[in-house]
Chains A and B, each alone.
Chain A
Amino acid sequence: MKCQKCDKPATCHITELTNGTPQELHLCEDHARQYLTAGAEETVAGKGMAAAMAQHMAQQMAQQMAVGQTAEELEKLDQQACPVCGITFYEFRSQGRLGCPNDYLCFQSQLEPLILNIHGESQHAGKSPKGNPGTSHQRTQLIRLRREMKEAVAREEYEKASELRDRIRAIEEDAAP
């Protein structure tokens, strides 16, 4: 694919999330850098956090390109999917919303710099739930099992579905607050 602004190959693929509708941009490295640095401050100031985040992610991509990561490597990163909810990093990048609590673990290496850039901190310092947060891993499993059950039903694998249902029930009863 060619860059939308010149004849060089497009190596940066940017999804803009401003105005609600995603807009795809395919640019060469030079034009991407130009695009991302132009009016950066104003965009962050005027368009709110979601846009700022999308912009930061695009910047991060450009930086990764600069340190020599190839388009293929980035593509691989994009295709990485959360085993619990099934969302890919590309889907998160284009929607700006994560799919489940486990994504914070699954995409940790990509999210860490993003979170640090947004908040300037990486350690929570506020209130904590008073209940038992120790069960949260078990609860994340529920999300995965329910999804697998739904998929099993869709494939008409009813035996597997009923087995999954029993496991879900067991965890639900075990973890009832």
Chain B
Amino acid sequence: MELDDLTRYSGEWLRGVGPESDIVISSRIRLARNLADYPFISRASDQDRVHILNDLHESIQDIAQNEEILCVNVEDLGGVDRQFLVERQLISRELAESRGARSVTIGRAENFSLMVNEEDHVRIQVMQSGLDLDTAWERINRIDDQIEQHVTYAFDETLGYLTACPTNVGTGMRVSVMLHLPALVMTRHIEKVFRSLHKISLAVRGLYGEGSQAMGDFYQISNQVTLGRAEEDIIKQVCDVVPVIIGYERQARDFLVREKQENLHDRVARAYGILRNAQTISSEETMHLLSSVRMGINLGLIEDLKIPVINELFIHTQPAHLQKLSGTELDTTDRNIERARYLRTHLSSQGPRESEKN
């Protein structure tokens, strides 16, 4: 399996299946772990980083016995390839942009990734399409146990798993659910939802995590508290709140359909029209318009398009993906032209290309 193979697929979290998948894009859990006998990354020498990678080699081999994996040395990658992995949410921007020995191991179906030498020595993440945190937890818990058979984690009876940042100490677990909430944004109720989430100490982030803009009306809801609660309780807290937000989004969609039918239909149709005809288009505008089209499909206003095709376009029109797909490095101007061309091809009225995976 090679890195370039990934371009032909769209990855687990964009399959567009699973419970509530019209609104819930994906469920994701990550665990932060550190090896007991090395300093945390901020104090690790080049040699320490190499040793950490070596010590984890056996654990990774163990995982490879159960499924096909791709292990990538991030330091050897070019800028476009690193950005490509960030866009696919397989690595963090931190891992892409830092220096020194570091790696990522990716499962064939892109439903798990394991970063070594990120903020912590080990960052495991598991993704599932739709709302399915229980499967994600069952899986990541097993992978964590598997890794631990070969290494000793930094662990304290009182504080749990010790992490480089005290915000992750305890379970080292971040549970997040990515939601598509265009109607709550349109009806300006989204801020209210956020405020109530913060009150129960849940965090809201954009598509690409901390500090990123809420591009395409995608929001990730996740736990902030990692200490003093069992993993299952943390998962339950997120699981309990997601249906409530889904309910609000559906109410907002109903309201738009009932009270603003023409405006809504107009907005969706115009978005679709621009995407099918533009000659040059920015990434931001693309995300914004695709979001309207996605909601239009879910509300039955567009009938000749399927959700997985749109999900894939959200990713394939990102800068590094466009460059990988066209096989050349492109500057911003050329990317905007290539993006428009790509969208016209894949949204043409002759009917969309079936996703190559199907």
User: Using a CB–CB distance below 8 Å, which chain A residues touch chain B?
Assistant: 41, 44-45, 47-50, 52-53, 84-87, 95-101, 104, 111, 114-115, 118-133, 135-136, 139-140, 142-143, 146-147, 150, 172, 175, 177
CA–CA, A49 and B210, complex, Å:
9
CB within 8 A of A98: which of B40, B150, B224? B40
Question: By the criterion CB–CB under 8 Å, are A50 and B167 in contact?
Answer: yes
CA–CA, A121 and B229, complex, Å:
8
A49-B224, A124-B228 are known; give 15 further A-B pairs, CB within 8 A: A48-B203, A53-B165, A85-B40, A87-B42, A95-B42, A98-B165, A99-B43, A119-B228, A120-B228, A126-B171, A127-B171, A130-B148, A133-B157, A136-B36, A175-B152
Question: By the criterion CB–CB under 8 Å, are A97 and B153 in contact?
Answer: no
25 chain-A/chain-B pairs, Cβ below 8 angstroms? A49-B165, A49-B224, A52-B167, A53-B166, A97-B165, A99-B40, A99-B42, A114-B166, A115-B227, A118-B224, A118-B227, A120-B228, A121-B170, A124-B156, A124-B171, A126-B173, A131-B153, A136-B152, A136-B155, A139-B37, A139-B152, A139-B154, A140-B36, A146-B48, A177-B152
CA–CA, A70 and B290, complex, Å:
57
Question: By the criterion CB–CB under 8 Å, are A101 and B228 in contact?
Answer: no
Question: By the criterion CB–CB under 8 Å, are B171 and A45 in contact?
Answer: no
Chain B nearest CB: distance from A17 CB in Å?
11
Chain B nearest CB: distance from A135 CB in Å?
7
Question: By the criterion CB–CB under 8 Å, are A123 and B158 in contact?
Answer: yes
Question: By the criterion CB–CB under 8 Å, are A124 and B157 in contact?
Answer: yes
CB within 8 A of B231: which of A119, A122, A127? A127
CA–CA, A114 and B227, complex, Å:
12
Inside 8 A of B233's CB, which chain A residues have their CB? 125
What's the tally of chain B residues with a CB closer than 8 Å to chain A? 55
CA–CA, A52 and B152, complex, Å:
31
CA–CA, A49 and B166, complex, Å:
10
Chain A nearest CB: distance from B142 CB in Å?
12
Query: Which residue of chain A lies nearest to B148 when distances are taken between CB atoms in the complex?
Result: A129
Inside 8 A of A87's CB, which chain B residues have their CB? 42-43
Query: Which residue of chain B lies nearest to A87 when distances are taken between CB atoms in the complex?
Result: B43
Question: By the criterion CB–CB under 8 Å, are A122 and B39 in contact?
Answer: no
Q: A99-B39, A126-B171 are in contact. Are A131 and B119 (CB under 8 A)?
A: no
Within 8 A of A (CB), among B224-239: 224-231, 233
- Verify if B105 is at the interface (C-beta below 8 Å from A): no
CA–CA, A41 and B157, complex, Å:
33
Inside 8 A of A121's CB, which chain B residues have their CB? 170, 225, 227-229
Question: By the criterion CB–CB under 8 Å, are A100 and B152 in contact?
Answer: no
Inside 8 A of B34's CB, which chain A residues have their CB? 101
CA–CA, A100 and B164, complex, Å:
7
B134-177: CB near A (< 8 Å → 1, else 0) gives 00000001001100111111111111111011110111010000
B282-311: CB near A (< 8 Å → 1, else 0) gives 000000000000000000000000000000
With most chain A CB atoms within 10 A of its CB, the pick from B36, B149, B151, B165 is B36
Question: By the criterion CB–CB under 8 Å, are B170 and A126 in contact?
Answer: yes
CA–CA, A72 and B161, complex, Å:
34
Query: Which residue of chain A lies nearest to B41 when distances are taken between CB atoms in the complex?
Result: A97
Inside 8 A of B201's CB, which chain A residues have their CB? 120
Query: Which residue of chain A lies nearest to B42 when distances are taken between CB atoms in the complex?
Result: A97
Chain B nearest CB: distance from A2 CB in Å?
32
Q: A85-B43, A143-B39 are in contact. Are A125 and B155 (CB under 8 A)?
A: no
Question: By the criterion CB–CB under 8 Å, are A101 and B167 in contact?
Answer: no
Inside 8 A of B165's CB, which chain A residues have their CB? 49-50, 53, 96-98
Chain B nearest CB: distance from A66 CB in Å?
23
